[in-house]
Amino acid sequence: MKFAALCLAATQAAQAAFTWNSARFGGGGGFVPGIVFHPTAPGIAYARTDIGGVYRLNSDDSWTPITDSLADTQGWHNWGADALAVDPQKPDVVYFAAGLYTNSWDPSPGAIFKSTDRGATWTSAPLKFKVGGNMPGRGMGERLAVDPSNSNIVYFGARSGNGLWKSSDAGKSFAKVDSFTAVGTYIPVPGDTTGYNSDIIGLSFVAFDSTSALVNGATSRIFVGTADNTTASVYVSEDAGKTWSAVPGQPKRFFPHKCKLSPEEGALYLSYADGAGPYDGTSGAVWRYDLKSKTWTDITPVSGSDLTFGFGGLALDAKKPGTIVVATLNSWWPDAQIYRSVDSGKTWSVLWKWGNYPEMIYYYGISTPKAPWIRKDFLDVDSKWLGWMIESFEIDPHDSDHFLYGTGLTVYGGHDLTKWDSIHNITIQSLADGIEETAVLEVASAPGGSELLAAVGDVSGYTFAKDSDLGTSPKNVWDGPKFTSTGGVDYAGNSPSKVVRVGNDAGAKMVALSTDGGISWAIHGGADTTNNGGSVAYSADGDIILWSTASGGVVRSQNEGAFAAVAALGPASVIAADRRNNSYFYAGSAGSFLVSADGGKTFAKSGTLTGATAIRDISAHPAAGGKLYVSTDAGIFYSEDFGKSFAALAGNLKNTYQVALGRGSGTGWNLYAFGTGSNGARLYGSADGGSSWTDIQGGAQGFGSIEGARLAGSGNVANKVYVGTNGRGVFHGVGALVGGGGGPSTSSSQQATKSATSSSSSKSVTSSSSVSTSSSTLISTTKTSSAPPPVQTAGPYERCGGSGWTGPTACASGYICKLWNEFYAQCVPK
Ligand SMILES: *[C@@H]1O[C@H](CO)[C@@H](O)[C@H](O)[C@H]1NC(C)=O
Ligand SMILES: *[C@@H]1O[C@H](CO)[C@@H](O)[C@H](O)[C@H]1NC(C)=O
Ligand SMILES: *[C@@H]1O[C@H](CO)[C@@H](O)[C@H](O)[C@H]1NC(C)=O
C-alpha cells in the first residue's frame, strides 16, 4: 500500500473514493495453497491464495484481506501469491512472492513484497524473472523463508530454472546464490505449447535449521528442496549458504512438497508426491531425516495398493515434539485422508476408515456454519468431505488444538485437534470467512429485484436478494441445476424477478431460469447440450433469451423454445437487451454495432461509433427504453433512439471496458465505467450522464485487471456499485457522487470538470523511503496486459472437466479425461 498511498496523495483532487467491501461468500471459494503461522508470536497467521491475494487471521477465526491495494490494473498479477514467509524474530513482518504465471499469460516479472505492519502497508523488491502464483507446484513450499536468527537474510527458491535467490538487506533486494546450482528440472508436460505445464517447476522449499550454529550471525544449516526426481531433491548448506550439497541417502522418485523442522527432536519431516500438485499425485511418501545421525526413515502411513496418492500438507505440533499430521495431496475417491502420529511417525491413526463397505466410519464431525452453501452444495452431494488439493495443513504453534488446512475449495480447521488422541474424534469447520478468492464472471443488480446476482467460476454463483444480505454467506450456490461455473446472468427489465443464467460445462444443458429473482431455478425447457459458456441477455419482458455462447456463435430462444442460431451475429458478440422494450436487442459484432427490433430474430447495422474499432460492453438504461451506453476502445457512446445514432460522452474516458448504470441520488442514475481518465486506468463514476467523471476506486482498492473486471450499478441502492473480479470475489462500493440526474449529455459544450486535476503519471512517483525505489521500479516495469487466455489442452493430471468447468476439456496426448465425480474430471494416462 506504500505506492497506493503515494498515488492517493498525488491524485486526491479527482477522487471521491467509494468505501469498498466484499460481498460475503464466506467460504473462500478457491484453492488455498499455503497457510503460515508465526512460530514465536501467538495469534499471527496468514493464508496465501493462488489468484486472490493474501489474508491475515483474526482471533475470531475470520480473515482480513491485506493485499487489496496491490492488484490495480498495472499490478494485476499481484494477487497471485506463490510463497509466504514471516520473520521469526519480528512478529509484524511478512513477505510474499507475487506473480501469476511464468508463461506468456503474465508479461511481467514478479516481486517480493514486504510488510512491517502485518500487511497494512507494503514495499516490494522487483525480481528479474516471473513468479507463478497460479502455476503447477504452487502448493509446494514455502519457497520463501527468513533466517530465524537474522532478519536481514531472506531466501527465495525460484521457478523456471532461475535457482535460489537471497536477500541480505531484509528484502530490499535479492541476488542470485551462484553456489546453488540445482534448479529443480521437473517439467510436468514438456510439450505443452501454452507454456503453462512446460515450465521448470523449480525449487520447492527453503527450511532453516534453527538448532544449528551461527556463522557470522547467520544460521549455518539451510535445506532447500527442488522438484527433481532424477538427481536429488534435498540440498543442504552447513556454512550459511556458501556451499551446498545433496543430502546423502535421500529418497528418490518423488518430489518434496513440505519440509518442517522439529527442533526438539532434531529432525526434519518431509512429504512427497509423484507430481508437483496441486491436482495430481498417484503415489508418494513421508520421510523423517535425523539431523544428528544424518539418517533417513521412511514413515509413509500407507503402503502397497492402498498408496494411491501423494502427500501434501504436513504439520508438526510445536508443543508436542513427535506429533505429526500429514494429508493426502489428492485422494479423489472417496475422500482425502488425514493421518496423525504421536510417535514421530512410527504409528499412525486415520480420520476415517471403511466400515462394512460402502459404510465409512468418521472420526470427525464437519460443519460449515460460516458458509452454509459448502454443506448444501458440496458436502451433501459428494463423498469428499475433507477436501482435495490439501497442500497446507498447519497446527498453531501456540495451541495444539488449533489447526487450519487449505483445500481446493476453502479452509477447514478447528479447535479440538488433541481430541484425536483422547476420544479419536475431532470437530472440523469451514474457516475461510473473509477469504474471497473466486473468479467472478458476471454481476447484475435488478431494479426492483435481487440486489446482487453474481455468476462465479467453480462455485456456480450466488444471489443476494437484498442489500442487507451482502454481509451474510448465502445458504446455497446457484443449484438445481448447479453449473460448476456460470458465465452469464441477466434479468428481465420489466419483470425483474425473471432471471436467466448460462453455464460453462460442455455436454450438458447450460441455461437455467428463475422466476423468483434467482432464489430457485429450473433448466430452460429449450436447452440442449450443444452450447455452453459466454454471456446472456434477457428481453425486457423475460420471454426471449439471446445467448452469445463460447461454443459457437449467438443463439436465440423464445418462450422456452429450442435455441436457433442468429445468423447476423458472429462469435463472441457483445449483447444486451433493451430494459423496457421487449422487441429490442443490441449487439457489438466484429467491431460493428447492430440492433434488432424484432426480438432478436434479425439484426441490422445501426448507429456509428466514430473512431471505435472494438465494442467491449453495452449497457441499456434500466429505466428508459431506447437509451443505451456502448463502451469501446474509443470511450463511451450514448444513444437515446434505440441505437440509431450515437454521440460520444462529453467528458469522455478513454479506452473503456465495462460500463454500467446504477441508482444515483434522487431519481437520477449514475454511470460507472472502467477506463482511462484523469487518474489513469481505473474505475470512474459519473452522476451527470458522463460529462464529468470521478475516480471512485481510490488508491487503496485494486480490482485486478480492469479489462476483465465485471461491473453493475445497484438497481436499488443509491450510489452503490458492484465489481466482480478475477480472483477476489465481488466488491461493493458506496460513496457520494454529485452531479446531474443521469440524463444524456450529447452537447459538446459540456466539458469534463475534473480533467485538469491530475495526471496518470502518478503511479511512477518515487519516494524517499529506503525500499520504495524498488517498489517504483516494479511499477514502471509492470505493464497492463490482457487477462490470460484459456489453456486449450489440459496436461497430465490437470483438471479437464466436471460440472461447469471453464477450462480445457481435451487432454494432452496419451491422456484421457476421466470424470471422477460430478465436479471433477482429470487427465489420466490412457
Ligand atoms: C519422476 O516423476 C515423473 C512424474 O511422476 C515420473 O514420470 C518419472 O518416472 C519419475 N522419474 C524417476 C526417475 O522416478
Ligand atoms: C465423531 O463425531 C461425529 C460428530 O459428532 C459423529 O458424527 C461421528 O459418528 C463420530 N465418530 C465416531 C466413530 O463415533
Ligand atoms: C417497442 O418498440 C416497438 C418498435 O419500435 C414499438 O412499436 C413499441 O411500441 C415499443 N413498445 C414499447 C412498450 O415502448
What distance in Å separates the CA atoms of residue 619 and residue 443, rounded to the nearest whole number? 13
Q: What is the position in ligand 1's atom list of the atom closest to the CA of 252?
A: 14
Residue tagged 466514430 (cell numbers) = 610
Of the candidates 556, 507, 545, the one whose C-alpha atom is nearest the C-alpha of residue 825 is: 507
Helix (H, G, I), strand (E, B) or coil at 150: coil
- Is-contact 810 105, C-beta < 8 A? no
For residue 444 the three cell numbers come to: 447484475
Helix (H) or strand (E) holding 419: helix 419-422
Separation of 357 CA from ligand 2 center, angstroms? 17
Closest C-alpha to ligand 3, atom 3: 583
Task: State the number of CA atoms in the 13 A half-sphere of 175 facing the CB.
Answer: 8
Residues in the chain: 830
Q: What is the position in ligand 1's atom list of the atom closest to the CA of 255?
A: 2
The pLDDT score that the predictor gives to residue 738 is 76
Helix (H, G, I), strand (E, B) or coil at 78: helix
Is 458 among the residues known to form the active site?
yes
Which ligand has the shortest distance to the CA of 420? 2
Type of residue found at 460: S
Closest C-alpha to ligand 1, atom 6: 274
Closest C-alpha to ligand 2, atom 11: 363
What distance in Å separates the CA atoms of residue 414 and residue 429, rounded to the nearest whole number? 6
What distance in Å separates the CA atoms of residue 451 and residue 460, rounded to the nearest whole number? 18
Of the candidates 683, 729, 739, the one whose C-alpha atom is nearest the C-alpha of residue 706 is: 683
Q: Answer whether the bond into residue 798 is a cis peptide, omega within 30°.
A: no
Residue 566 vs residues 52, 199, 529, 580: alpha-carbon distances, Å: 37, 42, 18, 22
For residue 111 the three cell numbers come to: 516481486
What distance in Å separates the CA atoms of residue 817 and residue 405, rounded to the nearest whole number? 28
> Please, which residues have CB within 8 angstroms of residue 570's CB and are 6 or more apart in sequence?
553, 554, 589, 590
Question: Of 50, 68, 228, 416, which is the active-site residue?
Answer: 50
Q: What percent of the chain has pLDDT over 70?
A: 90
Separation of 643 CA from ligand 3 center, angstroms? 14
Q: Which of 185, 228, 229, 254 gets mutated to test ligand 1 (max ligand atoms within 8 A of its CB)?
A: 229
Beta strands in 228-277 (DSSP E): 234-237, 245-246, 255-262, 267-273
Torsion of CA 554, 559, 560, 562, to 10 degrees: -50
Q: What is the position in ligand 2's atom list of the atom closest to the CA of 363?
A: 11
* Cα R_g (the chain), whole angstroms: 27
For residue 253 the three cell numbers come to: 522418485
Q: What is the position in ligand 3's atom list of the atom closest to the CA of 625?
A: 14
What distance in Å separates the CA atoms of residue 421 and residue 424, rounded to the nearest whole number? 5
What distance in Å separates the CA atoms of residue 557 and residue 579, rounded to the nearest whole number? 18
For residue 20 the three cell numbers come to: 469498498
For residue 453 the three cell numbers come to: 446476482
Which ligand has the shortest distance to the CA of 187? 1
Which residues on adjacent β-strands are paired with residue 141?
none
The pLDDT score that the predictor gives to residue 815 is 76
The pLDDT score that the predictor gives to residue 739 is 65
Instruction: Answer whether 597 contacts ligand 3 (Cβ < 6 A).
Output: yes
**Is residue 178 packed enough to be buried (19+ CB in 10 Å), middle (13-18) or exposed (0-12)?**
exposed
Name every protein residue with a CB atom under 6 angstroms from any ligand 2 atom. Answer: 361-363, 365, 425
Residue 122 vs residues 398, 438, 575: alpha-carbon distances, Å: 27, 23, 41
Q: What is the position in ligand 3's atom list of the atom closest to the CA of 578?
A: 1
The pLDDT score that the predictor gives to residue 770 is 28
Q: What is the position in ligand 3's atom list of the atom closest to the CA of 540?
A: 13
Q: Which of 187, 257, 274, 827 gets mutated to test ligand 1 (max ligand atoms within 8 A of its CB)?
A: 274
Separation of 254 CA from ligand 1 center, angstroms? 7
Q: Which of 544, 579, 581, 601 gets mutated to test ligand 3 (max ligand atoms within 8 A of its CB)?
A: 581
Residue 115 vs residues 59, 87, 89, 771: alpha-carbon distances, Å: 20, 11, 14, 11
Torsion of CA 708, 714, 720, 722, to 10 degrees: -20
Q: Residue 356, Cβ neighbours under 10 Å: how many?
A: 7
Helix (H) or strand (E) holding 772: helix 772-781
Quote the crossing angle between the two packed helices 772-781 and 2-11, to the nearest 10°: 80
Which ligand has the shortest distance to the CA of 351? 2
Closest C-alpha to ligand 2, atom 5: 365
The pLDDT score that the predictor gives to residue 65 is 98
What distance in Å separates the CA atoms of residue 415 and residue 444, rounded to the nearest whole number? 39
The pLDDT score that the predictor gives to residue 336 is 98
Closest C-alpha to ligand 1, atom 9: 253
Separation of 417 CA from ligand 2 center, angstroms? 14
Closest C-alpha to ligand 1, atom 3: 274
> Please, which residues have CB within 8 angstroms of residue 600's CB and are 6 or more apart in sequence?
539, 544, 546, 556, 566, 585
**What b/e string do you get for 750-759 counting C-beta neighbours within 10 Å, with b at 16 or more?**
bebebeeebe
The pLDDT score that the predictor gives to residue 590 is 86
Of the candidates 1, 3, 189, 2, the one whose C-alpha atom is nearest the C-alpha of residue 780 is: 3
Separation of 425 CA from ligand 2 center, angstroms? 6
Residue tagged 422487441 (cell numbers) = 583
Which residues on adjacent β-strands are paired with residue 89?
none
Which ligand has the shortest distance to the CA of 641? 3
Helix (H) or strand (E) holding 774: helix 772-781
For residue 461 the three cell numbers come to: 454463483
Question: Of 61, 87, 458, 505, which is the active-site residue?
Answer: 458
Residue 765 vs residues 13, 78, 172, 557: alpha-carbon distances, Å: 17, 19, 18, 53
Name every protein residue with a CB atom under 6 angstroms from any ligand 1 atom. Answer: 229-230, 253, 274-275
- Is-contact 477 522, C-beta < 8 A? no
> Please, which residues have CB within 8 angstroms of residue 420's CB and are 6 or more apart in sequence?
340, 349, 351, 363, 426
Helix (H, G, I), strand (E, B) or coil at 779: helix
Q: What is the position in ligand 1's atom list of the atom closest to the CA of 280?
A: 5
Residue tagged 474424534 (cell numbers) = 425
Residue 656 vs residues 550, 629, 659, 745, 783: alpha-carbon distances, Å: 23, 11, 8, 17, 17
Separation of 385 CA from ligand 2 center, angstroms? 14
Cα 528 from chain centroid (whole Å)? 31
> Please, which residues have CB within 8 angstroms of residue 500's CB and are 6 or more apart in sequence?
489, 490, 491, 511, 512, 513, 514, 524, 536, 538, 545
Which ligand has the shortest distance to the CA of 428? 2
Which alpha helices (DSSP H) does 201-326 contain, by range? Answer: none
Question: Which stretches of the chain drop beneath a pLDDT of 70?
Answer: 1-15, 739-792, 796-798, 802-807, 820-824, 828-830
Separation of 228 CA from ligand 2 center, angstroms? 41
What distance in Å separates the CA atoms of residue 353 and residue 154, rounded to the nearest whole number? 42
Closest C-alpha to ligand 1, atom 14: 253
535 phi and psi angles, rounded to 5 deg: -125, 165
Separation of 666 CA from ligand 3 center, angstroms? 28
Beta strands in 389-543 (DSSP E): 392-395, 403-406, 411-414, 426-430, 440-444, 452-456, 461-464, 486-492, 495-503, 511-514, 522-523, 535-538
Which ligand has the shortest distance to the CA of 581? 3
Closest C-alpha to ligand 1, atom 10: 253
Instruction: Answer whether 583 contacts ligand 3 (Cβ < 6 A).
Output: yes
The pLDDT score that the predictor gives to residue 792 is 65
**Is residue 121 packed enough to be buried (19+ CB in 10 Å), middle (13-18) or exposed (0-12)?**
middle
> Please, which residues have CB within 8 angstroms of residue 560's CB and are 6 or more apart in sequence?
513, 524, 525, 526
Separation of 583 CA from ligand 3 center, angstroms? 7
Separation of 264 CA from ligand 2 center, angstroms? 34
